[in-house]
Chain A
Amino acid sequence: MTMGRARGVVLIGMDGHLIDVEADIGQSLPAFILLGLPDASLRESQDRIRSAAKNTGIGLPARRLTVNLLPASLPKSGSVLDLAILMSAWAADGKVQGTQDIVFLAELGLDGRLRPVRGVLPAVAAAQAAGAETVIVAEQNAQEAALVPGMDVFAASHVVQVASAFATKDSAAVLHDVPGLQHWTAAGHVSDQEQSDRRQTGASEPEVSSPAKSDELDLADVRGQHEARFALELAAAGRHHLLLIGAPGAGKTMLAERMAGILPPLDDRAAMEATAIESISAEPQAVSELRRIPPFQAPHHSASMAAMVGGGARIARPGAVTRAHQGVLFLDEAPEFPRHALDALRQPLETGQISLHRAAGSVTYPARFQLVLAANPCPCGLNVGSGTRCRCSVAQRRNYLAKLSGPLLDRIDLQIQVDRPRSAMDALGPPGETSAQVRTRVLAAREAQRQRLARWDLVTNSQASMQLLTGALRLPPRATAHMDSALDHAAISLRGYVRVLRLAWTIADIAGMNQPGADEVDAALQLRQSADRS
């Protein structure tokens, strides 16, 4: 046979596309022709493939080899198709058979070793969604590939193992004594198997990492700061965005860094998404288990817009907002960020995703994160309380927080002031509750929200719209009496009114109540206004 087929996957952004690789050997002078819009990095694979083939002892025929990557109109890049191209070429030469339905995902070294690639998890998931059942990866990627439930994952460290698993009579003689492929499930390496009984072992459920590791930052380290701790708990429970304003040394950063520790562990779908993002942005082979701990991203304030939302020359790479998907994006010293970088957050805050358009194509990454901002009240940071020690001019003070634009602040439900510990009892007193204790309450509050909001297809209070809060979930007038009068006196806006309602619901959920009463609404109003004082 002079035609061979194999399959591979290329990733464009997070979307995997199943690629059919066709190879044809023509009766003409030796040449390697790669069709189907390969870019420079993919073109290099032809030389890797020839060397790898030669150094395994099987070799490629000295003829014209035409390789076509289907769909031909999709631009392809990267080294992930190396193995698929070589297997299709060998199939065309009659050295291997039965490769047409197998997905191959590995880069080749010149010596024929299989090397790990980035993004194996989303690639395997896409292959499965497209109907593929068996995937062959480099050994270092096996654990990651096996995270996709229901996929048959085989791993090898050298291309001869792959060749021998699909060998025809023609090449079997060269390949005797070669170890077989290793079958992997989520629990790990199962067994070396022959090709004939490859399909008999089913994959088990993916193993999960424990929700929280003990070496994490713990909330017990924060002394005093009862109001701020409560605000952090509310933010975690209701998934409200949070702004902490306070003097230097008040503990804003310390509090924000402990946010991820009190968030509930990610469910299966969220964990798969977060792990897939990790897989495409981390080094190859860095991923070995599903990420259950919500990610925490804290870019420095020198971050450019491209670093925040994603960027890069050809297909844009994920930025901080995407790496914080399903977790927390913490911007310390928020007013120091370039204003356009902050305003670029508005679209992902609204839609939960970010679309990046470049010459080579557009990609959409998920970006559903919880925003935590920390800021000083003014450049010198001392404009708190009476503000007598502050050395800033009036204009400086006014301009500093104005860097956080109105539309951005509009989306932040919880805006509180963090004061420096004012008494020795606070600062040196007994440690507060641990993260684990707080997380228990957060979990219960999340569950209460989920049950209440399921009718409207929502999960957390922060997603509740004005129509819902003033309609189906309207509170009795005596509960909202104080806030109604604040609205009447134009002390808060209608938008602020809705945010207070959202917070009030979360306070009630934390307290285990069915719905907020006057106390909860007043507490929410108080929290909301604590930052307005400055």
Chain B
Amino acid sequence: MRAKDKTGMLGEEIAAQYLSTQGHTILHRRWRCPRGELDLITHDGEQLVAVEVKTRRGSGFGSPLEAVTPQKLARLHRLLLEYCAAENRFQSARRVDVVAIVLSGSSVPHAGEHLVQRLEHLKDVS
């Protein structure tokens, strides 16, 4: 597995832990369909939430939030509908969240060495 994928997996793990402490119930990780993938699908109160997790090491290439373009956001909304169709969950309210994580440390971290420098959680982005 390549380093960037490792970073991504790690970020999703950190995001899932964080969201659990915020009262989310994790329904799926890496939910896939032919048209793409959703990082996390959770339940926050009454709402069904698709969470996009963006993880970076250092901020040399700008904030991870800047990587979520309008096109990507539109795709997330579309995929959430696909999920609802597949799981027949149209009755619940939906939203898309973005979690941005900046990690410190080397690109091949040893266990416990990946310190979270910053974690930002934007709710209901559109």
Contacts and interface: CB of A to CB of B under 8 A. Distances in A.
B64 to A, nearest CB: 8
B68 A62 contact: no
A28 B62 CA distance: 16
B62 A29 contact: no
B16 interface: no
B99 interface: no
A62 B101 CA distance: 13
Interface residues on B, range: 10 to 19
A63 B100 CA distance: 12
Contacts, number: 21
A431 interface: no
Nearest to B64: A62
A29 B121 CA distance: 10
A30 B68 CA distance: 9
Interface residues of A, number: 6
| Interface SS of chain A | loop
Nearest to B69: A29
A423 interface: no
Contacts of B122: 27-29
Interface in A20-37: 27-30
B91 to A, nearest CB: 27
A181 to B, nearest CB: 31
B89 to A, nearest CB: 25
Nearest to B68: A29
Contacts of A28: 122, 125-126
B18 to A, nearest CB: 17
A30 B63 contact: yes
Of A28, A29, A30, A62, most B-chain CB atoms within 10 Å: A29
A432 B34 CA distance: 97
Nearest to B73: A29
A62 B125 CA distance: 14
B98 interface: yes
B104 to A, nearest CB: 18
B63 to A, nearest CB: 3
A28 B66 CA distance: 11
B9 interface: no
Nearest to A54: B62
Interface of B: 62-63, 65-66, 68, 73, 98, 100, 120, 122-123, 125-126
Given A28-B125, A62-B66, A63-B65, 7 more contacts: A27-B122, A27-B123, A28-B126, A29-B68, A29-B73, A29-B98, A62-B120
21 contacts: A27-B122, A27-B123, A28-B122, A28-B125, A28-B126, A29-B65, A29-B68, A29-B73, A29-B98, A29-B122, A29-B125, A30-B63, A30-B65, A30-B66, A62-B62, A62-B63, A62-B65, A62-B66, A62-B100, A62-B120, A63-B65
Interface of A: 27-30, 62-63
The 9 closest A-B pairs by CB, nearest first: A62-B63, A62-B65, A30-B66, A30-B65, A29-B125, A29-B68, A28-B125, A29-B65, A62-B66
